A = this chain, B = another copy of it.
Amino acid sequence: MTKSKRLIPLREPRQSRSRVTYDAILEATTQLLIERGYAATTTNHIAERAGISIGSLYQYFPNKEAIAVELLQRHILGGPAYMESKITHAMKYLRDPVKIVKAFIEAACDHHADNPTLHKVLEEEVPHPPHIREAIRRNEDLFAVALANLIEQQRPQQVPNLTVAARLVFVIIKTMSHWYILYQQAEIERDVFVDEMTAIVIRYLLPSQSPKDLC
Contacts and interface: CB of A to CB of B under 8 A. Distances in A.
Interface stretch (A5-13, A97-105, A201-209): A201-209
Contacts of A207: 203, 207, 211, 214
Interface of A: 39, 124, 160-161, 164-165, 167-168, 171-172, 175-176, 179, 188, 192-193, 196-197, 199-200, 203-204, 207-208, 211, 214-215
A52 to B, nearest CB: 24
5 pairs of A and B residues whose beta carbons are closest in the complex: A207-B211, A203-B203, A200-B204, A175-B175, A203-B207
**Copies of chain A in the complex:** 2
Nearest to A200: B204
Contacts of A160: 215
27 contacts: A124-B124, A160-B215, A161-B192, A161-B196, A164-B188, A164-B192, A164-B193, A164-B196, A167-B188, A168-B176, A168-B197, A168-B200, A171-B176, A171-B179, A172-B172, A172-B176, A172-B200, A175-B175, A199-B204, A200-B204, A203-B203, A203-B204, A203-B207, A204-B204, A207-B207, A207-B211, A207-B214
